[in-house]
Structure 1
Amino acid sequence: MYLLKPFRKLIKAVLPAVLFGMLSGTALAQSADKFFPKSDLMPIGSYYYPEQWPHEYWARDIKKMAEVGFDFTHFGEFAWAFIEPEEGKFDFAWLDEAVELAHKNGVRVIMCTSSPTPPAWLAIKHPEILMVNELGVTMQHGSRQHISWSSPVYREYVSKMVTAVAKHYANDKRIWGWQLDNEPSHYGQYDYSPAAQESFRRWVKNKYQNIDTLNKVWGTAFWSIRYSSFDQIRIPNPKELIAQPSPHAVLDFKRFSSDEVTDFLGLQYNILRKYIQPEQWITTNLMPEHTPVDPTRMTNLDFVTYTKYLVAGYDKGIGPQGFRMGSPTSIAYANDLFRSINGTTGVMELQPGQVNWGKFNPQPMPGVVRMWIWHAFAGGNKFVCNYRFKEPLTGGEQYHYGIIGPDGVTPSTSGLEYIKVIKELKSIKPYYQPDAKMPKAYQVKQAAVIFSPDNRWEQDNQPQTYQWDYESHLMRYYGALKEFGAPVDVITEAKDFSKYPVLIAPAYELLDAKLVERWTKYVENGGHLVLTSRTGQKDRNGKLWEMKWAEPVYNLIGAKIPFYDLMPDSVQGTVKMNMKTYRWNTWGDILDPNPGTETWATYTNQFYAGRAAVINRKLGKGTVTFVGPDTHDGALEKDVLKMVYSQAGIATGNLPQGVIIEWRDGFWVGVNYGPKAYQVPIPATAKILIGSRTLNTASVVVWKE
């Protein structure tokens, strides 16, 4: 047990945090596959807001929805003022009529709770429910997501509203499933309201039990920050402080914020489950990008779905027209992350065309909306829902595309693409085989990337260089795997590692002895582990180890890490591997390998030229690779992974950047986000169901072997 010796003094400090994580909802949920027959493949639906449109349009619109081919629709997420127009007086007559219109037209309903949009009477009567931003400004009625998840008053009113909705539709078989709230995230902002302040104090008191423990973990001896009571604790708000707050306090606040929304949704889930049918599922929809919310914590729901908008001026994609298509890894990553939480996911909001809120709002490339839907199918999604059916004429989302244009009857350009995909999905149903098995040549490439919100939050707060970005670093490895044609799961460390031939833990700064031991056993049993920059520097609370730099991983990687380097963006570091030179300047761990550890790459400039940059060692039946530098173009990362696969005896593909090929339920699916056509190596004996071997830009091919 030599591996554990450096940790013995730290066990008592680490164990409470580990136990707290186990008790705060991080246990794995059971799969929700039971809700979705595989033979349905992937039903497609669309949002509709009956309360937003004149009553005389409802019958026409929902009939049109059925004619288009939509399997389901989505009611009620922003309708609280219509469901409860006065306190305690609930009106379901209008919603009942809309549900019945859907049913008569063969359209199933996802019913929503309206918690992101309280009515004006509630905000006026109880202004204490409102969120306060980092500048101390209280959010006001007039938009959405402006409330505090921590407010006990708000939770009381939400509970009453959800109970009323649940009771009313308790035995209604026209309801397919339920969505809680809508994108609960505060859109990247944090809540500093009095209710949040009080709830945060309770959270840290529950975690640390006594104030001395908190002072020790938070390092409050420095700058005389020390607290004598939990009542003195305030949320660490950088806008209120003249210098940086304790990084340990910041990490705890981000954990708290995610736990708070998880608990808020759990409150609604428990109410619904008391009344609704067991065959009805309950989910929420989240955005995979930077938000205060950790989707992997939401194991208290049946499953979690995602929202995805790829073309809004923020993601330039690949090539000169990439801004019209988005990144090839955007949907892919969301698929692999959300599906891995409990084995089931869906796309609750998929961009239908141009939007109104982007940095700029280009027209998507013709065919790309269709490609996005097929990409969602390829990733195993149980359904896709676009936002929204009709383009709004008034309100805060003017200019946001719908499936039907502003005249209310004519399909938009993307609406026509949805109609095409619905027909295509129907055309491949006869080829579905319930006993289809993943091909062995594909399965053997299986990899997992460990996603850690704690590490993301910690590094967002202490990047050490403005160029560092945790998710970009992770994506360099994830993107390489997709170019290899490998199936990928994006998992948390709570998952079982043993089924993955290759396991990548990017920038795993926060860890403990137990995780290092699990990694070691994984490798000894034949796994191939890749660790990267920043790994092993701190304990779970963000404290630097009282030992050599990153020493907890030394025995595992077979090397020491004496120091790291960061450089300005105008200076390029160089690394050589297999006679090829790579450039970096964001982060570089300098490595001193032990005897028996192989050096794969060396630094070739700066004062440490000649020292190891990438190392590899055999351990038991497997291998460990450590990649010291972080590059911008990902070329080094890709080539290192190629060597790892080669060493493991696993063949890799070499797809061009932008092309993704996945296998799902017996179907192969290829999509192309790149600027050039690609000749897909489809076997001559295969049956092409959709498209052709020539996979053009923004195009799709589907085949069976």
Structure 2
Amino acid sequence: MKKTLLMGLALTCGLASQAQKQFFKPEKMVETGVYYYPEAWDPAQWDRDFKKMSDMGFEFTHMAEFAWGQMEPTEGQYDFKWLDKAVELAAKHNLKVIMCTPSATPPVWLTRKYPEILVEMQTGQTGQHGTREHYSWSSAKYRELTSKMVEAMAKHFANDKRIWGWQIDNEPSHYGTYDYSPAAQANFRIWLQKKYKTIDNLNKAWGTAFWSAIYSDFSQIEIPNEKRLYSGIASPISVVDFKRFSADECASFVSMQCNVIKANVSKEQFVTSNFMHGHTDVDPWRNKDLDFISYTMYPVAGYTKGVGDQGFRLGDPWRISYANDFFRPLKGVTGVMELQPGQVNWGSYNPQPYPGAVHAWLWNAFAGGLDFICSYRFRQPLFGGEQFHYGMVGTDGVTELNGGQQYNQFMKEIRELRKLYKPNTQMPKEYAARKTALLYNVDNVWETTVQPQTYQWNQITHVTKCYNAVKLLSAPVDIVGEDRDLSSYPVVIAPAYQMVDEALVAKWKKYVENGGNLVLTVRTGLKDRNGHFREAQWANAIVDLIGAKIAMNDMLDNDIKAKVSFNGNTYFWNNWADMLEPMQGTETWATYADQFYAGKASVIHRKLGKGTVTYIGTDTDDGKLEKDVLKKVYELAGISTNEQPEGVMVNWRDGFWIAVNYSSSNVTINIPQDAKIIFGTKELTPAGVVVWK
């Protein structure tokens, strides 16, 4: 297993270095940039702004993704003169440019002349000019017009060496809205016919015998609209299929633009798009035509409590690390295209980040192996829908705001760190030995959203809780799909993997028999790929694998706290719990301490071939049970861990260790005596960072 692990790590490094050779310089490690909107500012100020950008330490800028109306003021008439001037001035100050396609915001002439391109919401209302992402991915006319716009841009900047790369669209999605337009309806029927071939196959997969929902022809099918299905959904999997279709339509729209760009520009220019972390109405992994996928990240916007009384100003400790490990494995390279610069305007409430938090986020992003970090935006806007959104500089266009000062500090530190960089530095063996894969399939997110069973269930919350538990043990993580070869990972975790087939379970079994350590959690193996229960005992697909039967499950209201006992400690739960009945040879690690099933197994563990299988049958709010069970799994496998206090993230990259404190208290980092501290100290205040080697 160890030999295979080293081979796997070498392969991963090879993927990254191949992309780095083409688009990035490894010795720079990370390059930092910032969004700029020349169309929003007096051209007389552009030179001053780009100079300020460069003086602050930025190495690239990003423009044009919301400027379709300025680049094509009337249909077929293109104007790039103003953009040429902006690119020229950026280059004057040694700033590379990421050029963006403007499909997120079609101009008014387009939406008025071709209203069929607009998205149609669940209510039957169409999107209105004056917002963004309000177009339909399924509209043939919008694809035609977008293709022409992108081709014009690509040909204009085809051999321009000042253009570093391209971003397609902006956060491709409909921000939680789905498209019910006639074009989407027509394409959905085509998609279903390609998938199921016959209407009988669809009826079987959708279980349409329930509630007399049987179809005799694909033309009868409507997009399942939950606002119209007011008394329940006859076929939950129909909703999952619609979500699958929508994600495919988005990926197809992005790929269309990608292909147009690549047909016209230099191979030295990369093509990417930025997806929002945590938004599951699209699936970034579907976008395999891109050179790599990047992401946007806003840790503090009123939606998280974090750790401790100031956690709402610091963000969840796992959030940036999770995004790094989710977006990087697809191509071995990623970057954050939008990293929060300070206070924002669109949250449920918008607190000021904790002093030093922006600096901590930057180092956390760096620690994840990113090749670039970009912030939205350089100047705080004077008008428009984001006036309260901070930039690097304030409303006077000159004064550096707190976030700008922290970016400046980080960029100075990176320039110092580059002097210490050594190529081909090997990951420390002890760290590599705890390399962990976390299996993810967006189908499980969609399916459990349709039938959560308890109002407390949130698939992403459960997955990220398991992820956080692993990171608190200082393990490197790849978040991967089912197609990934698992043999290079000593530990694999499949959280709440509700839909499985025989092939996947066989793959898990082979992985374990060859020496791997597999950890499964609640809700795993309950359904097939069509979301059906099997005509067999509960969770029959995994019974032989885990060495136990799942007798039943339970869930409680959020004000009821039930107990689990593990290793002499008590843990509390109320979300979801499986009551397990171990077979011969399977150990019981944890038991329920109350309710009418007190004494039933909650966590079980067994040896299988050369490896082990562990099933965590209880979902806790704080994740402490999951973390302690995982720690025992590592220890029994002979894998050392380095447990951190809640809120601390420790990562290694390129020969450097980075620790970031997201907690609201001071913590002391355990740094070896012979280590050299480069920045910071081992005593970390909230938002503190220490870098050592």
Q: TM-score range by the shorter chain?
A: over 0.9
Q: CA deviation at 1:460?
A: 1.0
Is residue 569 of structure 1 aligned with residue 558 of structure 2?
yes
After TM superposition, list the pairs within 5 Å mapping 1:465-504 onto structure 2: 465-504=454-493
Q: CA deviation at 1:290?
A: 2.9
Q: CA deviation at 1:216?
A: 0.8
Is residue 215 of structure 1 aligned with residue 203 of structure 2?
yes
Q: 2:120 maps to which residue?
A: 132
Q: Is the 8 A contact 2:17 2:26 kept in 1?
A: no
Q: 1:629 maps to which residue?
A: 618
Is residue 32 of structure 1 aligned with residue 16 of structure 2?
no
Q: Is the 8 A contact 1:187 1:291 kept in 2?
A: no
Q: Is the 8 A contact 1:523 1:622 kept in 2?
A: yes
TM-score by length of 1: 0.95
Change (3 A) 1:536 1:291: closer
Q: 2:10 maps to which residue?
A: none
What secondary structure, in the 3-state scheme, does the structure 2 residue paired with 1:574 have? strand
Q: 2:287 maps to which residue?
A: 298
CA distance in 1, matches of 2:606, 2:193: 44
Figure out how many residues of one structure are paired with residues of the other and give that number. 677
Q: Per-residue CA shift, 1:560-597, capped at 9, x if unaligned?
A: 11221122223332221222222212111111111111
What secondary structure, in the 3-state scheme, does the structure 2 residue paired with 1:240 have? coil
CA distance in 1, matches of 2:411, 2:439: 34
After TM superposition, list the pairs within 5 Å mapping 1:1-40 onto structure 2: 32-34=19-21, 35-40=23-28
What secondary structure, in the 3-state scheme, does the structure 1 residue paired with 2:307 have? coil
Residue 193 of structure 2, aligned match among 199, 205, 227? 205
Q: 2:148 maps to which residue?
A: 160
CA distance in 1, matches of 2:570, 2:356: 38
CA distance in 2, matches of 1:243, 1:284: 39
Q: CA deviation at 1:30?
A: 11
CA distance in 1, matches of 2:303, 2:562: 28
Q: 1:95 maps to which residue?
A: 83
Q: 1:22 maps to which residue?
A: none
CA distance in 1, matches of 2:20, 2:441: 25
**Letter aligned with residue 456 of structure 2:** Q
CA distance in 1, matches of 2:468, 2:119: 37
What secondary structure, in the 3-state scheme, does the structure 1 residue paired with 2:408 have? helix
Q: CA deviation at 1:520?
A: 0.5
Q: Is the 8 A contact 1:29 1:302 kept in 2?
A: no
CA distance in 2, matches of 1:565, 1:658: 30
Q: 1:123 maps to which residue?
A: 111
Is residue 548 of structure 1 aligned with residue 555 of structure 2?
no
Q: 2:275 maps to which residue?
A: 286
Residue 70 of structure 2, aligned match among 76, 82, 102? 82
Residue 312 of structure 1, aligned match among 301, 308, 321? 301
Which range is displaced more, 203-212 or 687-696?
687-696
Q: CA deviation at 1:319?
A: 0.8
Q: CA deviation at 1:606?
A: 2.0
CA distance in 2, matches of 1:323, 1:562: 40
Q: Is the 8 A contact 2:16 2:332 kept in 1?
A: no
Q: CA deviation at 1:29?
A: 12
- Where in structure 1 are there 5+ consecutive unaligned residues? 1-27
What secondary structure, in the 3-state scheme, does the structure 1 residue paired with 2:61 have? strand
Q: CA deviation at 1:435?
A: 2.1
Q: CA deviation at 1:244?
A: 2.0
Q: 1:174 maps to which residue?
A: 162
What secondary structure, in the 3-state scheme, does the structure 1 residue paired with 2:374 have? strand
CA distance in 1, matches of 2:177, 2:266: 35
What secondary structure, in the 3-state scheme, does the structure 1 residue paired with 2:151 have? helix
Residue 524 of structure 1, aligned match among 513, 522, 526? 513
Q: 2:5 maps to which residue?
A: none
Q: Is the 8 A contact 1:352 1:387 kept in 2?
A: yes
What secondary structure, in the 3-state scheme, does the structure 2 residue paired with 1:186 have? coil
Q: Is the 8 A contact 2:344 2:390 kept in 1?
A: yes
User: What percentage of aligned pairs have identical amino acids?
Assistant: 57
Change (3 A) 1:503 1:689: same
What secondary structure, in the 3-state scheme, does the structure 2 residue paired with 1:669 have? strand
Q: Per-residue CA shift, 1:333-383, capped at 9, x if unaligned?
A: 001111112211000001101111111111111111111111100011110
Q: Is the 8 A contact 1:185 1:291 kept in 2?
A: no
TM-score by length of 2: 0.96
Which range is displaced more, 389-398 or 285-294?
285-294
Is residue 424 of structure 1 aligned with residue 413 of structure 2?
yes
Which range is displaced more, 562-571 or 450-459?
562-571
**Letter aligned with residue 57 of structure 2:** G
Q: Is the 8 A contact 1:29 1:300 kept in 2?
A: no
Q: 1:6 maps to which residue?
A: none
After TM superposition, list the pairs within 5 Å mapping 1:659-670 onto structure 2: 659-670=648-659
CA distance in 2, matches of 1:29, 1:126: 43
Cα RMSD, aligned residues only = 1.3
**Letter aligned with residue 541 of structure 1:** N
Q: Is the 8 A contact 2:308 2:665 kept in 1?
A: no
CA distance in 1, matches of 2:229, 2:163: 49
**Letter aligned with residue 241 of structure 2:** D
Is residue 460 of structure 1 aligned with residue 446 of structure 2?
no
Q: 2:60 maps to which residue?
A: 72
User: Runs (4+) of structure 1 moved beyond 4 Å?
Assistant: 28-31
